[in-house]
Amino acid sequence: MSTLATILQDEISTATLQKGLYAIAACTLIGAAAYAGYKAAEPETKHLPSHRHPESNEQIEKVLEALRLDDDDKLRVIMQSLEREMELGLSPATHPTADVKMFATYVRSTADGSETGQVLALDLGGTNFRVLLVDLLPQSKVELTSKIFVIPQSIMLGEGSYLFRHLADCLMEFMNKENLNKPGVRYPLGFTFSFPCKQEGLASARLSTWTKGFTCSGVVNEDVVKMLQVAIDEKNINVQCVALVNDTVGTLMACAYKDPNTEIGLILGTGTNACYMEKLDRVGTWDGDYNDPKQVIINMEWGAFGNNHRLNHIRTKYDEEVDLSSVNPGKQIFEKMISGMYMGEIVRLIMLDLIHQNLLFIGKCNGSEDFKTPLFTRGGFYTKYVSSVEMDEGIGFSNTRRVLEDIGIRNPSYDDCAIVQHICKIVSKRAARLAGAGLAVLINRINKPNVTVGVDGSLYRYHPRFKRNMEKCMQNLVSKNIKFLLQLSNDGSGIGAALTVAAAEALSNQEKTKRSYPLSDDGSGKGAGLIAVVASRYLQQLSQSTSTLHNHNNEKVPTQFQKHLSTLQSPM
């Protein structure tokens, strides 16, 4: 009996032992499977290469290599191509099909600082526009009163007549606020219109093409000054538009008011364009007189450089994507590689490419909700972010972290921040070097011992390295016998227009004595005002404007300006 009990007890122990072993084995297998699954799903962060110096990472540099323009010889090829395009625009035989249009502006001299008076100006160059009252005071001082108005997108994309009616409504609001609607007084106005135009006189210009997101119908090939005046007259506003100026011309004029060596105007903002003072014997399209001074400011419209594929050798897949998704594919190729409207989008596309290659924001863009963030939205990375990121110094990356969080990246790593800043630097440096190469062409062409470039625009004004990168590039491309200076032109699109008017008057009278006109001083707005005075210099050519100024509804011109008009109408 005891033997049987012993046997049974041994069998029970064996069975229990076997079950225990089976359980241990099962747990081991389950644990191993769970661990294997966890490791398979775990981001491979431990094996990622460090990007603390992203310029030394071969994979990242391979992506960015196509955006580098560090070779001066490559820039010289671009300069030669640009100068050939300029000649095509200046020749009457090739001008109609030229991409760089090289429009003569009919502005032939700059203000000398003796101008005084008051003028209205209207500055249209983007989604906002300004109405200005510009006062030119003795000793080259300027006072400016202005108001900014918004242009709704529905108007930007609608019928052209609605756009000009909107401008007239805002002009009337400004004049009522400033108590300028005085009975019997008709005010002259300078119009800064910052779009490609074929200018036919100081107060006549036909739109060649819309840019900067505008697509208003019924305006291309029409006289924009006439369309504005029709809208003004419909509202019975006591204003006569007597001159039109591009913002680049206004920038040049405003800077020349302070620095007589100014020969070039440059805009680096939402868009980009340049103008410069050219000798008349080089302007084959010139249809005016050849009296002194034998020069005229040329509005290049250089944003269209490359429309004929001349820049294809430096364009990247990111440039092509930006172009295809724009409102004007195949147009403004040079502008799309430089200006503020497109720079942020180029950076965004590069970031998406690095994400796809698992080189950026690893493990931070996996959820479906992530694809609804600004990072994955066209236009979601603003050009102002580029400036903000490049302002970061040291290892803190406070600006960069804030920007990345704004576009939907939570808790960006140090490496993420370093890579994004590196991308921004590469893209903005390319833009600065392209702009610098373009300026070098103009400075060498002018070929004077000292040349000042008046520059305006948000990209140039707010980006921390843009000017420095331009100057460094230009030092190797500008002739060694020429000294150049980049000078910020304050509000060129306002003051400059006013100063253009004043300069034309001075040219008309061939005097250096002080004058009183209804003008002002600010760049675009001030420029428009000065242009209004310059326009009066050509009143004999602008008979319609003259007749309107003196006879329209028996209204009077402001006293100071009336004296000036009678001087212009007297035999020369």
Question: Which active-site residues does the annotation give?
Answer: 130, 194, 247
| 8 Å CB contact between 482 and 448 | yes
Longest C-alpha distance within the chain, in Å? 149
Place of tokens 């600010």: 522
Please tell me whether residue 191 adopts helix, strand or coil conformation: strand
CA dihedral angle for residue 175, residue 179, residue 185, residue 190, rounded to 10 degrees: -30
Phi first, then psi, for residue 374 (nearest 5°) are: -55, -30
| 8 Å CB contact between 132 and 529 | yes
Residue 449 is classified by DSSP as S
DSSP string covering 503-567, please? HHHHHHHT--S-EEES---SBSHHHHHHHHHHHHTTTTT-HHHHHHHHHGGG-B--HHHHHHHHH
Q: Output the CA–CA distances (angstroms, integers) from residue 275 to 31, 254, 446, 453, in the order listed.
A: 74, 13, 12, 10
Per 3-state DSSP, the chain is made up of helix, strand and coil in percentages (nearest 5) of 50, 15, 35
Phi first, then psi, for residue 459 (nearest 5°) are: -65, -50
Task: State the Cα–Cα distance between residues 144 and 520, nearest whole angstrom.
Answer: 7
Sign of the alpha-carbon torsion through 357, 429, 53, 371: negative
Q: Output the CA–CA distances (angstroms, integers) from residue 203 to 258, 495, 526, 533, 536, in the order listed.
A: 26, 17, 16, 11, 10
Q: Which residues pair with 206 in a beta bridge?
A: 198, 223
H-type alpha helices, 42-97: 58-64, 72-90
Task: State the Cα–Cα distance between residues 285 and 533, nearest whole angstrom.
Answer: 25
| 8 Å CB contact between 192 and 493 | yes
Q: Between β-strands 450-456 and 262-268, what pairing exists: parallel, antiparallel or unpaired?
A: parallel
Burial tier of 474 (Cβ tally within 10 Å: 0-12, 13-18, 19+): buried
Task: State the Cα–Cα distance between residues 298 and 444, nearest whole angstrom.
Answer: 16
Beta strands in 26-158 (DSSP E): 103-104, 115-124, 128-137, 141-150
Sign of the alpha-carbon torsion through 452, 109, 132, 206: negative
Task: State the Cα–Cα distance between residues 254 and 454, nearest whole angstrom.
Answer: 8
Phi first, then psi, for residue 138 (nearest 5°) are: -55, 155
